[in-house]
């Protein structure tokens, strides 16, 4: 007896990678900080840059990135790194 295979999902165009360098370029060393910091609201900047400002998982994605970063340096560049990794996993049309 042959078991039918599930129907193939339509191929989607590959996501275009997001260039995070513009956010990283704005980070500068500040008095009293060893590592560079973002000179504004990092959450708003990252969500906007990724096109996730109104995405239902946007804020949760940022919060998870921040929680992961708290395990080590918890600096703005590291939060940006983890956010960029997590955005790649969100497949609801982001990117």
pLDDT of residue 11: 64
pLDDT in tens, 2-36: 777 777 766 665 667 899 999 999 999 988 888 99
pLDDT in tens, 42-90: 999 999 999 999 999 999 999 999 999 999 989 999 999 999 999 988 8
User: Is the pLDDT at 94 greater than 60, yes or no?
Assistant: no
- Report residue 10 as tokens: 């339509």
Helices (H), 30-75: 42-49, 58-69
pLDDT of residue 9: 64
67, 70, 75, 79: CA torsion to nearest 10: -20
User: Is the pLDDT at 91 greater than 80, yes or no?
Assistant: no
Own/partner contacts of 21-24, CB < 8 Å, gap of 24 or more, are 22/49, 23/49, 23/80, 24/77, 24/80
pLDDT of residue 32: 85
- Among 50, 31, 37, 51, smallest CA distance to 79 is for 37
């Amino acid at each position: 007896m042959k078991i039918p295979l599930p129907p193939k999902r339509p191929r989607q165009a590959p996501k275009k990678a997001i260039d995070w360098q513009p956010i990283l370029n704005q980070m500068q060393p500040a008095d009293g900080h060893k590592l560079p910091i973002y000179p504004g609201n990092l959450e708003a900047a990252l969500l906007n840059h990724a096109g996730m400002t109104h995405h239902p998982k946007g804020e949760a994605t940022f919060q998870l990135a921040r929680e992961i970063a708290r395990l080590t340096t918890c600096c703005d560049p590291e939060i940006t790194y983890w956010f960029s990794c997590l955005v790649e996993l969100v497949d609801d049309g982001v990117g």
